[in-house]
């Protein structure tokens, strides 16, 4: 009997979106009147900005072009690059730390600028768990811009952004929790929109999910990292010859199948260790290592510290 192979669209995209695990908060509800400009430093926090009304110009460190923003636009600076928002590229920016100094309540409206046209914004920050090693974050660009004028704008964006702005400006029971959940939704959906709009040869290893066979193989690795995978076994599962599969996987993903497998296992291990529920030995078994010693050696080579030291560091920072 022949082998029946299912090449349905994998859940791998769900898996990688789940990597983000953002911890978000709104830090600024603002009403700016031209002329105005504010600068945000590169401080390790990723940022997002929602233009509720009016417009602005955005300049991001590392991005050559200025980005014009209109009412309803969403921008995300996922790597925490320094950036400037302004009514005009010529307006001298004021550091955000000076503008929000002494303001502890995010429901307080920040006003700044002159007497010209107004721009209303909701701005927030989020931390990505284990951002230094997050494989999804590594392939994201320095700026994700989702304009409200984009054709076939997803139905989720406008009502979600409106709800975020509404809750951010009012302190009611449960608002803080609701805002955090809305930020989760906005970030994940924005990354998904960015991914879907990338050309087929762009998007790094994330783009490989578009290929039915390689995407299916990535899905298998994600769902069952503990299996004793070989290149031949993966190729067999997606109905390809070993040599063609290995070459295509390396070409699309940017690394050989077993290297990707190892990196995924170690990433999963880092998450399990951060949760602090499993022992190092149990974590090793969960992600496919038969020996705790072999796991510890691989983990230290990848993360620069032992699994135990890593877990202690994560507990201390929570």
278-297 pLDDT, tens digit per residue, is 999 999 999 999 999 999 99
CATH code linked to domain 206-317:
1.10.10.60
Instruction: Annotate 254-272 with b (16+ C-beta within 10 A) or e (fewer).
Output: eeebeebbbbbbbbbbbbb
Q: pLDDT tens, 169-195?
A: 777 777 778 888 888 888 888 888 888
pLDDT, tens only, 133-152: 677 777 888 999 998 876 55
| pLDDT value of position 245 | 97
Cα 65 → chain centroid: 22
High-pLDDT (> 90) share of the chain, %: 45
pLDDT for res 210 = 81
- Give the single-character DSSP code of 29: E
When comparing pLDDT for 107 and 34, which is higher? 34
The pLDDT confidence band at residue 27, using thresholds 50, 70 and 90, is confident
Query: Which residues partner with 68 through β-bridges?
Result: 57
Q: What is the DSSP string of 205-269?
A: HHHGGGSHHHHHHHHHHHH-TTS---HHHHHHHTT--HHHHHHHHHHHHSS-HHHHHHHHHHHHH
pLDDT at 93 over 80: yes
The answer to whether the peptide bond before residue 256 is cis (omega within 30 degrees of 0) is: no
Residue 158 contacts by C-beta under 8 Å, 6 or more apart in sequence? 72, 148
- Judge: domain 14-197, CATH 2.60.120.280: yes
Q: Measured between alpha carbons, how far is 291 from 144 in angstroms, rounded to an integer?
A: 41
Task: Pinpoint the alpha helices (H) of the chain.
Answer: 12-17, 96-99, 157-168, 175-197, 204-207, 212-223, 231-237, 242-253, 257-275, 280-286, 292-303, 307-317
Maximum C-alpha span of the chain: 78
> How does pLDDT run across 113-129, given as a tens digit for each residue?
999 999 999 888 887 76
- CA 217 – CA 195 distance, rounded (Å): 19
More confident residue, 112 or 102: 112
For 193, which DSSP code?
Answer: H
Distance, CA of 227 to CA of 35 (rounded, Å): 60
Q: Mean pLDDT, to the nearest integer, of 36-41?
A: 95
Categorize the per-residue pLDDT at 2 as very low, low, confident or very high, splitting at 50, 70 and 90: very low
Beta-bridge mates of residue 74: 50, 146
Most confident of 88-97, 147-156, 196-205: 88-97
Judge contact between 110 and 28, C-beta under 8 A: yes
Q: Looking at the chain, which residues constitute the CATH 1.10.10.60 domain(s)? A: 206-317
Task: Look at residue 317 in the predicted model and tell me its pLDDT.
Answer: 56
pTM above 0.75, yes or no: yes
CATH 2.60.120.280 segments of the chain: 14-197
- Mean pLDDT confidence for 141-166: 78
């Amino acid at each position: 009997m022949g082998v029946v192979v299912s090449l349905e669209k994998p859940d791998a995209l769900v898996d990688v979106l789940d990597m983000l695990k953002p911890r978000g908060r709104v830090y600024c509800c603002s009403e700016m009147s031209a002329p105005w400009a504010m600068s945000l430093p590169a401080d390790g926090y990723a940022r997002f900005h929602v233009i509720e009304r009016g417009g602005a110009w955005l300049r991001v460190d590392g991005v050559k072009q200025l980005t014009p923003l209109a009412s309803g636009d969403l921008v995300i600076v996922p790597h925490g690059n320094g950036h400037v928002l302004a009514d005009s590229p010529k307006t001298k920016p004021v550091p955000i730390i000076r503008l929000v100094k002494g303001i502890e309540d995010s429901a307080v409206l920040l006003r700044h600028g002159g007497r010209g046209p107004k721009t209303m914004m909701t701005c927030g920050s989020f931390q990505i768990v284990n951002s230094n090693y997050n494989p999804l974050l590594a392939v994201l660009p320095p700026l994700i811009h989702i304009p409200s004028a984009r054709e076939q704008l997803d139905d989720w964006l406008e009502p979600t952004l409106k709800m975020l702005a509404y809750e951010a400006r009012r302190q009611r029971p449960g608002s803080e929790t609701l805002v955090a959940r809305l930020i989760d939704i906005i970030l994940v959906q924005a990354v998904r929109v960015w991914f879907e709009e990338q050309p087929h040869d762009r998007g790094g290893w994330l783009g490989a999910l578009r290929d039915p066979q390689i995407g299916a193989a990535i899905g298998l690795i994600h769902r069952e990292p503990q299996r004793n995978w070989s290149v031949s076994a993966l190729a067999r599962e997606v109905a390809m010859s070993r040599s063609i599969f290995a070459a295509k996987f390396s070409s699309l993903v940017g690394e050989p199948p077993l290297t990707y497998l190892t990196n995924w296992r170690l990433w999963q291990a880092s998450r399990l260790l951060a949760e602090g529920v499993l022992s190092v030995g149990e974590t090793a078994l969960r992600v496919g290592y038969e020996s705790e010693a072999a796991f510890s050696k691989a983990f230290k080579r990848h993360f620069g510290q032992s699994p135990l030291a890593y877990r202690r560091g994560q507990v201390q920072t929570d």
